[in-house]
Amino acid sequence: MRSCWSLKFVSYLIGVLICYFPTKVQAQYSLPNEIPVGNKALDLPPYLFPINPGSTNFLAGTMGELRSTHFHAGIDVRTNSMIGAPVLATQQGYISRIIVGAYGYGHAVIITHPDGNSSLYGHLDKFKGPVSAHVLNEHYARKSFDLDLNFTPDQFPVQRGDTIGLSGNTGGSAGPHLHFEIRDSNNFALNPLAFGFNEIKDVLPPFAIKLALTTMDINSRINDRFGRFEFNLVKSGNGYILPNPIFANGKIGIELLAHDRIDRSQFRCGINYIELLADSTSIFTQEINQINFEESYDITAHMDFKSLKTRGLRFNKLYVSDGNPLSLFKNVKNQGIVTIHDGLNKIQIRLRDFSGNETSVKFSLKKDPLTNQVSFLETPVKPIDFDLQENTMTIHSKVCPSKKTTAQVFSKGTTQELEAAYSGLTKNVFLLDVRKTIPDSIRTCSGQLQFQYKGRIPSGTDYNFYSDWFDVEFKKGNLYDSILLHTNYELAGKQERFTIGNLLTPMHQKIKVTLKPKLSYPLPEKTSAYHLEGKRYEYLGGQWVNGKIEFETHELGDFTLATDTIPPSIRRIYCTKNSARFRIGDNLSGISSFEANINGEWLLMIYDYKTGIIQSERQDKAKLLKGKFELKVTDRSGNQRVYQQVIL
């Protein structure tokens, strides 16, 4: 869980695990003592709630929530912070797949049902029933903790209400709960609450926190200024308002920070329906009744990415930005962008959760003529600074003693004078359309900005970028929209830093990068590429070819090379004849693999990456761990640590 549990773990794994499960399920099969599945209607009982059916249950997450890298595809059922609640099959069918892993859904069961749907139960602690022994035997037969097992209809049939597992906290879970999904035969996630579960009570409407208004072109303004501006909403009756009109001009995009509330739950959940109306005319509707997993990662184009990356806030765009491929929008006019007309522009946002609880946000935008004199401009922190929003660069410069209001823009050997778009008592603001001019530098009386822009990278075609520092392969569709590519190379001591674009630019798909290091790396087999975000190193790996290293990345920003020669750590918690338990970790590249044996025989170790805990599970519970125990842990750079002990 993410928004409700504030989960943070390796984002690229999520993108993979979202599409981890089959794109089709087997819809036609026969179960013992059940009617055969054909084209005729099935007489099936209602779907059963998987935790404590018949009793009131509580949720920590709902379908459609904005997670950092995907739409939440199911519901998260609370288990009172406890592990071990019985998890029941929601409908008759057969266990068609089981996946065991340290990340994503952790221990997960997928059941295929006679109606063509399938249900998924994630983050389980244990499997129950005949499949449990089969999974354990498969661990030992394959000598692997990670499993991905598929089954035929006659192997593990289940009846509605059968206990198929115990709830847990495995995989990418930040607290004990059950993640529950229902998918159709096309592998689209359906809202489980649509199946009539009376165990969930919800009479609370969604709640709104903030609005963000964004100028959509160089001639647009909000309170006489260009950019993106946030406003705190005020509760008024059953809805929310901005008490005073916002002055605006041109084309304006609207974003909303809002959540749903579930009865007796402190968690912030998702909103199914959002509609934007301008002067009572609907211009944008977002409705999430199902989720296409092939689109889910594209959520990064649907939020304000800068707010997400820098503050962890998930603002929902109420307009369709360029390159946004999501199909959950309806009745969209002019991309949902508001064009300000004379007089008062009355805006309303309708919010409705799946239970039908509604609330609204109301405010007004009042047209204000463009002006080059703005009374309230913040005093600049730096003498000269800039920001880039879509195709417009905003340059902030302290007012000159001479009151000069022009800047010089240098581009490809030419110079142009740029007049300030507007000024205040302490600051001049210049706006530059980078589609027309890509600057090498900009100078005002307060200082000079130097840029390393190498051109515009198109999103709709393949484009190969070459430089002395690195090469980048952009394939068609890697980007949501064309970008202005900033590059740089720095050498600080013994660390090289390669800059490729801006971290705050969302990516649609991975790009291929080839770094050309200037330093010598004596141990290339232990030297890998890393993405830098603050002080955090994210391992990317890479393959060395003729002194260069090639890798793929789903993020832009800063990259470096680092050599990892330190083996992983192994800390013994206990190691007895009944069980072995350790905490493992690594200082840089991360854990790649682990393996334990007792007297040379492979021993299953269950791994929880969140805590670093690794625990043994014997195949034969009557057979004690006696003799020579050995645990090997290897990191991604090939460094290995070995722990040995004789268990008496």
Per DSSP, the residues of 74-105 read SEEEE-TT-S--EEE-SSSEEEEEEEE-SSTT
The answer on 53 and 184 residing in a single domain is yes
CA 355 to chain centre: 26
Phi, psi angle pair for 41, to nearest 5°: -65, 145
What residue spans of 268-377 are helical by DSSP H?
305-311
The answer on 221 and 177 residing in a single domain is no
Q: For residue range 96-154, what is the model confidence (pLDDT) as tens digits?
A: 999 999 999 999 999 999 999 999 999 999 999 999 999 999 999 999 999 999 999 99
The answer on 253 and 231 residing in a single domain is yes
Last residue of a domain, one of 338, 367, 396: 367
What is the domain-level CATH number for residue 547? 2.60.220.30
Q: For residue range 396-413, what is the model confidence (pLDDT) as tens digits?
A: 999 988 888 999 999 999
Instruction: Look at residue 40 in the predicted model and tell me its pLDDT.
Output: 39
The Cα–Cα gap between 296 and 326 comes to 8
Average pLDDT score, the chain: 91
The answer on 553 and 443 residing in a single domain is no
CA angle 321, 70, 535 (to 5 degrees): 95
Distances (CA, A) of 460 to 319, 435, 641: 21, 16, 48
The answer on 525 and 642 residing in a single domain is no
Q: Once rounded to an integer, what is the mean pLDDT over residues 199-226? A: 95
Domain assignment present for 530 = yes
> Does 33 score more than 90 pLDDT?
no
The answer on 19 and 41 residing in a single domain is yes
CA 475 to chain centre: 22
Domain assignment present for 521 = yes
The answer on 252 and 181 residing in a single domain is no
The Cα–Cα gap between 248 and 190 comes to 40
The answer on 351 and 296 residing in a single domain is yes
Last residue of a domain, one of 395, 427, 451: 451
- For 308-344, b where at least 16 C-beta lie within 10 A, e where not — what string? bbeeebbbbbbbbbebbebebbeebeebbbbebeeee
The answer on 558 and 575 residing in a single domain is no
Q: Once rounded to an integer, what is the mean pLDDT over residues 186-195? A: 93
Distances (CA, A) of 542 to 240, 526, 545, 553: 50, 10, 10, 10
The answer on 315 and 230 residing in a single domain is yes
Top-confidence residue, 645 or 43: 645
Least confident interval from 267-271, 432-436, 548-552, 599-603: 267-271
Residues 6+ apart with CB under 8 A from 626: 577, 598, 647, 648
The answer on 462 and 437 residing in a single domain is no
The Cα–Cα gap between 311 and 257 comes to 13
Q: For residue range 346-367, what is the model confidence (pLDDT) as tens digits?
A: 999 999 999 999 999 999 999 9
Percent of the chain having pLDDT more than 70? 94
pLDDT level of residue 21 (50, 70, 90 thresholds): very low
> Does 12 score more than 70 pLDDT?
no
Domain extent for 588:
569-647
Domain assignment present for 373 = no
Top-confidence residue, 379 or 569: 569
Q: For residue range 425-439, what is the model confidence (pLDDT) as tens digits?
A: 999 999 999 999 999
The answer on 65 and 184 residing in a single domain is yes
The pair of three-digit structure tokens given for residue 203, joined into one six-digit string: 């009479």
Domain assignment present for 186 = yes
Top-confidence residue, 592 or 10: 592
What residue spans of 276-394 are helical by DSSP H?
305-311
Least confident interval from 160-174, 257-271, 572-586: 257-271
> Does 266 score more than 80 pLDDT?
no
> Does 2 score more than 70 pLDDT?
no
Residue 177 near residue 95, CB atoms below 8 Å: no
What is the domain-level CATH number for residue 640? 2.60.40.760
pLDDT level of residue 41 (50, 70, 90 thresholds): low
Summary count for the chain: helices (H), strands (E): 3, 52
> Residue 164 has what DSSP assignment?
E
Instruction: Look at residue 270 in the predicted model and tell me its pLDDT.
Output: 87
Q: For residue range 472-483, what is the model confidence (pLDDT) as tens digits?
A: 999 999 999 999
Per DSSP, the residues of 371-398 read -SB-S--PPPSSSEEEEEETTEEEEEEE
What is the domain-level CATH number for residue 130? 2.70.70.10
Q: Once rounded to an integer, what is the mean pLDDT over residues 578-590? A: 97
Q: Total domain count for the chain?
A: 5
Instruction: Look at residue 262 in the predicted model and tell me its pLDDT.
Output: 84
Domain assignment present for 6 = no
Domain assignment present for 626 = yes
Domain assignment present for 4 = no
CA 283 to chain centre: 27
- pTM across the whole model: 0.90
Q: For residue range 279-324, what is the model confidence (pLDDT) as tens digits?
A: 999 999 999 989 998 888 899 999 999 999 999 999 999 999 999 9
Domain assignment present for 379 = no
Q: For residue range 369-404, what is the model confidence (pLDDT) as tens digits?
A: 999 999 888 888 899 999 999 899 999 999 988 888
> Does 590 score more than 70 pLDDT?
yes
Last residue of a domain, one of 451, 479, 503: 451
The Cα–Cα gap between 630 and 642 comes to 7
